[in-house]
Structure 1
Amino acid sequence: MKKNQQYERVFNHFDYNGDGKISPLELHQCVEAIGGELSLAEAETAVEFLDTDGDGLLGFDDFVKFVEGGKEEEAFKMYEMDGCGFITPKSLKKMLSRLGQSTTIDQCKVMIAQFDLNGDGVLNFDEFRVMML
């Protein structure tokens, strides 16, 4: 799955009212749902900063800028979940399930193996960054 498709899946999942835009409230709820911290005021500021068409909402391209704007560590933590410092097949399966994608542990092992540079069966932060490129 290409990065843009992943972003689109996340975008659509959190576009609660289906209007093709993410409001500050939806952005706040999105970040909270994935275990991050972003107050409603911070979400409003982020939307104001990233909103390219001035409608007070994030379109898909604006959302991608938000996600890519230094959020790699947050994204890593979102997938890592277990507090072990690595993305495991179990934590990957859990996150993909939250995003509406049903996978097996074996499928997650295959996904991880594609970017597991040291062959330890899990992804560390550097391997995750390579995967996100």
Structure 2
Amino acid sequence: MMRSEEYKRILRCFDKDGDGKISAWELGHRLGRMGGELMLNEEEALGWNGDGLLDLEDVIELMEGGGEEEKMKDLREAFEMYDGEGSGFITPQGLNKMLTKLGESKSIDECMVMIKHFDINGDGVISFDEFRVMMQ
């Protein structure tokens, strides 16, 4: 974890006008000077508190990956899509069904091979923890 002074230094690096906040223009300007490109959707451009600016708290949240709960929620929702049976596991049959919905036709045997690749404990199914490892 970074110290407060390091976050303040990051903020100052991007805060061209010195107001203690980073606007989308300031962020885009600095990234452009570093050879990058800024592509924000409307929600990202508004910042976390909706004012269109990133302050020190926003920078800390961004740098520390704040929103870990949101990532886990999204991961859980994705897992549940593949666990259509509600068993708590992705089975070859569940994987086959979801892939078919996505337009990707695979046989049960092919699904078994796919699962085996990420099945850490060798039980023939993917648990949420194995799914999480697979998605990282």
TM-score, with length taken from structure 2:
0.48
Higher-strand-fraction structure: 2
**Structure ID, larger Rg:** 2
TM-score, with length taken from structure 1:
0.49
With a CA cutoff of 8 Å and minimum separation of 6, indicate the structure with the bigger relative contact order.
Answer: 1
